Chain A
Amino acid sequence: MSDQNQPDQLVSVPHLLARNARLHGDKAAYREKEFGIWQSWTWAETADEVEALALGLLDLGVQRGDHIAIIGRNRPALYWSMVAVQSVGAVPVPLYQDAVVEEMTYVLENCGARFAIAGDQEQVDKIIEAQQTVHGIDHVIYYDTRGMRKYDHSEITAFADIQNAGRANAPSLSKELNTRRDALGYDDTCVMLYTSGTTGRPKGVVLSNRNVIETSKNSSDFDHLSAGEETLAYLPMAWVGDFIFSIGQAYWSAFCVNCPESAETMNADLREIGPTYFFAPPAIFEGHLTQVMIRMEDASRFKRWMFAHFMEHAKKVGPKLLDGETIGFGDRLRYGLGKYLVYGPLKNRLGMSRVRVGYTAGEAIGPELFDFYRSLGINLKQLYGQTEATVFITQQPDGEVRSDTVGVPSPGVELKIAESGEVFYRSPGTFVEYYGNPESTASTKDPEGWVATGDAGFIEESSGHLRIIDRIKDVSKMADGSLFAPKYIENKLKFYPNILEAVVFGAGRDRCMAFINIDLTAVGNWAERNNIAYSSYQELSQHPQVLDTVQAHINAVNESVAQDEMLAACQIHRFLVLHKELDADDGEMTRTRKVRRAVIAEKFNDLIDALYDGSGEIYTETEVTYEDGRKGRIKATLDIRDAAVVAKTQVAA
């Protein structure tokens, strides 16, 4: 299978585009809300736009194999850019749009980009600033013309102008474009994506057309994706998931990708589009749930009762119904009533009325959170993947969905568990290499093609599903030899709407301690309704009543953890609420919002020491980076509290 080419010569994304324009020419390929109205482009129009841009790129002098950085929020024009870049034999390198200049400089230098396509002025400014250290960029193309008039246009050109130049020069350039497009092979580079890097510098993962197309084909078949699907593209374009969902699968299955009006209107746009295929990291689902809970608190007493009553029932029956199990007539009737009164309106509110397949990945999802959505009748499933695998390693088939596993190997994926407990995989999606980094490539991918995931896990014998315990470097032993799996505890904590983020420490120690980040939306709302005045995040975070609430949550989590014999030692003994939100700009999290433990442990080591030495409070100063890149320091005195720990003997009793 691996040696033959695709039928119809579907060996690259531009080829898929040509096929879609032929077979689905009149069908919507992209929609974007602009000026309050959903604008749409058919596959035929998309092919036309991409063609014009590709010709324009040739006109600009783009060579085969050039790297072209693409930076901006999800917009059709930037997706077209990716395909246009591929059409001329160059390599698209999408970057995180919220990256600060230093991060951008690093990536631009690492990939040696000659051109950049930027969404708007903000991104252009960053590229220009990065140019002071790297000088590789010959030309910048920008899409949104706002504020761009004053720039020196000798090395900057508007997207539309590039397209116009392309159209004008089509007679002389078409032949070259066709030659380059026809020359695209199955093993040529499709895209280069930078890993978010929980440790060290980001690495450029090179994915071939084979990786992307095989994976898209297999995963589309797995969930029976068709040309009728609707998705909302709102996750960073630099993330492999978005590349696969909004380009790989979208082009393979010819479904429609919808782009929101702006990041702030995401929820409203979601409701208007009502996607059938939806993807979100747990943080998004958490955010939605938090909002629902806040709104419910403001609802009338009757509505609150109705919500509580039917959600209770849904938790019991909903997931079973989704899995096709038999349910008693009475339960079914009550669920039906609940659907009419609560679940339906709620799903509509969440924009998930039409979701046929929903995935969560990127981080383990709290079981309570997962069950909440399942119980509403939303077919939310988990998948486990990474950039190096072109997303898919395992995923959950319909009817076999559980919150504690990540599913069976995706089609074409082989799995093995090493003695250390680390999960290895091999698949058609296995990445080609880390760009310009043979050592890292060799240490991650062995000559037979097996890739180390860096995660510890095991395959459950009864179901054949993979269970991930934690990052292998995070899983460790406590001083007394018992298992320490911080993420498991953190996820339990994060289920509470008041807790945005938690970091648990305990490797090699006798007890576990925790940092908590409060969720400003939830806690701020609570403060407002209870007439609690605060002037800053910092002040609110240290309010005694907030600490009481967090303490209650931690006590509850301790009780639940104590039930698990393997992890009972991971109960949290002492905690503090951090005075600042952990933030990617400060390097404490990755751009995909995963905590960087090592960075946090080093940066806040004074706080960790205080947790362990028994102090009641600690004064600290922390450097923060503001959105515009300036740095400042915040000072705070943090309270440290003890949580209630369930003793081992009690569990046994």
Chain B
Amino acid sequence: MTTDATPYVTEDGRQIGGVMMDLRDITLRFGGVEAIKSISFDIREGEIRAIIGPNGAGKSSMLNVISGFYKPQEGEVHFRGKKRPPMKPYQVARQGVARTFQNIALFEGMSVLDNIMTGRMGHIKSNMLAQAIWSGKAQREENENREAVERIIDFLEIQAIRKTPVGRLPYGLKKRVELARALAAEPDLLLLDEPMAGMNVEEKEDMSRFILDVNDEFGTTIALIEHDMGVVMDLSDRVVVMDYGRKIGDGTPDEVRNNQEVIDAYLGVAHD
């Protein structure tokens, strides 16, 4: 666990601030199964934080705890210095946390544009009636939201598929649309659940570039789960390593790479 939270500037010139989210002694059980065993770590403002580990290590569960989908039986989540009471996922989203899913969860029949527009939900303030009668305020709001979405479309270079139904897109592009929808919420903390699963090398390179650019341009803090070690080591500032629900390593990519326990977990040793 890193206790020293003084802001610093990374080698490539990004600002890393204080602790944004602090997870303290989180334990999550499903019946008799302990998916997460008393794990603590923090996520700092502006950093790219990776959670890695073998299959079944509890990574996705951890992300679900952060996003409010799972409620841990023990432990505390502190967000922006305050202890977070148990919340529904949409309440967490309103606090500025957005996520993508391991299995793409988009509206297949809707266009890319409409899908991304749904990410603006939290930014629509006019009520349903005003929207139904297309009042001046609702119209203005829609224009503003559309503009925000267009900036994201431009940013992720998906102009050519703006009007294409998502169902017709190849996998790699769907992933990008999902990222776009998460970005549309203008989150402070972006959770990415295996953003590069199932991608080829070129798609992975593109996605890595977009993740770095999001972090760099918007200053968005990113927590991601990823299997591809090469990608993780290149992208992230700090890495948490999980195995069988326990935290077995935490630190910079270099520190983690040389951690014997991590090496054992990945290369496999006999468990007794």
Q: Which residues of A contact B (CB under 8 A)?
A: 34-37, 146-147, 149-150, 261-262, 264-265, 268
* B217, CB-defined interface residue at 8 Å: yes
Contact flag A268-B160 (CB < 8 Å), given A146-B213, A147-B217, A149-B13: yes
Q: How far is the CA of A35 from the CA of B13 in the complex (A)?
A: 28
Task: List A contacts of B13 (CB < 8 A).
Answer: 149-150
Residues of B within 8 Å of A, CB-based: how many? 17
A35: contacting residue among B12, B154, B160, B216, CB under 8 A:
B154
Q: Once the chains are docked, how many angstroms separate the CA of A149 from the CA of B216?
A: 8
**Cβ of B159 and Cβ of A264 under 8 Å apart?**
yes
Residues of B contacting A268 in the complex (Cβ-Cβ under 8 angstroms)? 160
Among B18-26, B145-153, B248-256, the stretch in contact with A:
B145-153
Judging by beta carbons under 8 Å apart, are A262 and B12 in contact?
Answer: no
**10 tightest A-B contacts by CB?**
A264-B160, A35-B150, A36-B150, A150-B13, A265-B160, A261-B159, A265-B159, A262-B159, A150-B12, A147-B213
A265, B154: Cα distance in complex, Å: 12
Q: State whether the Cβ of B155 lies closer than 8 Å to any Cβ in chain A.
A: yes
B151 touches A35 (CB 8 A): yes
Instruction: A147 to B151: give the CA distance in the assembly, Å.
Output: 15
Contacting residues, chain B, for A149 (C-beta < 8 A)? 13, 216-217
Instruction: Please tell me if B157 contacts chain A, counting CB pairs below 8 Å.
Output: yes
Closest to B151 in A: A35
Q: A147 is contacted by which of B146, B154, B216 (Cβ under 8 Å)?
A: B216
**10 extra interchain contacts, Cβ-Cβ under 8 A, other than A35-B154, A147-B216, A149-B216?**
A35-B150, A35-B151, A36-B150, A146-B213, A146-B217, A149-B13, A150-B12, A262-B157, A262-B160, A265-B159
B154 to chain A: closest CB distance in Å? 6
B residues lining the A interface (CB < 8 Å): 12-14, 146-147, 150-151, 153-155, 157, 159-160, 162, 213, 216-217
Give Cα A265 to B159, complex, Å.
7
Minimum C-beta distance from A583 to chain B (A): 16
CA distance A75 to B92 in the complex (A): 42
Nearest chain-B residue to A264 (Cβ)? B160
Task: Give the Cβ gap from B54 to chain A, nearest Cβ, in Å.
Answer: 29
How many angstroms between the C-alpha atoms of A147 and B13 in the bound complex? Answer: 12
CA distance A119 to B153 in the complex (A): 19
Establish whether residues A36 and B213, one from each chain, have CB atoms under 8 Å apart when the complex forms.
Answer: no
Could you show 17 A-B contacts with beta carbons less than 8 Å apart?
A: A34-B154, A35-B147, A35-B150, A36-B159, A36-B162, A37-B150, A146-B217, A147-B213, A147-B216, A147-B217, A149-B13, A150-B12, A150-B14, A261-B159, A264-B159, A264-B160, A268-B160
Q: How far is the CA of A501 from the CA of B228 in the complex (A)?
A: 38
Q: In chain A, what residue has the closest Cβ to B10? A: A150
Residues in B with CB closer than 8 Å to A37 are 150
List residues of chain A with CB within 8 A of the CB of B146: 36
- Please give the distance in Å from A72's CB to the nearest CB on chain B: 15
Docked CA distance A146–B12 (Å): 15
Assembly CA distance A149 to B9 (angstroms): 14
Q: Are A146 and B155 in contact (CB under 8 A)?
A: yes
In the complex, A531 Cα to B14 Cα: how many Å?
50
Closest A residue to B161 by beta carbon equals A264
| Inter-chain contact B159/A150, CB cutoff 8 Å | no
Residues in B with CB closer than 8 Å to A35 are 147, 150-151, 153-154
Measured CA separation A614–B15 after assembly (Å) = 67
Distance A264 CA – B173 CA, assembled complex (angstroms): 14
* A contact residues around B12 at 8 Å (CB): 150
| Chain B residues in 8 Å Cβ range of A34 | 154
Chain B nearest Cβ from A644, distance in angstroms: 39
Report the minimal beta-carbon distance from A629 to chain B, rounded to whole angstroms: 13
Report A125 CB to chain B, min CB distance, Å: 12
Chain A hits for B154, CB < 8 A:
34-35
Q: How far is the CA of A36 from the CA of B216 in the complex (A)?
A: 24
CB distance from B142 to the nearest CB of A (A): 13
- Most interface-central of A35, A37, A262, A265 (chain B CB within 10 A): A35
- A498–B159 CA distance with the chains assembled, in angstroms: 28
Q: In this complex, what residue of A is CB-closest to B209?
A: A147
Distance to closest chain B CB from A156 (angstroms): 14
Known: A146-B213, A147-B216. A36 touches B153 (CB 8 A): yes
**Which chain A residue shows the least CB distance to B202?**
A627
Q: How far is the CB of A492 from chain B (nearest CB, A)?
A: 32
B133 smallest CB distance to A (angstroms): 25
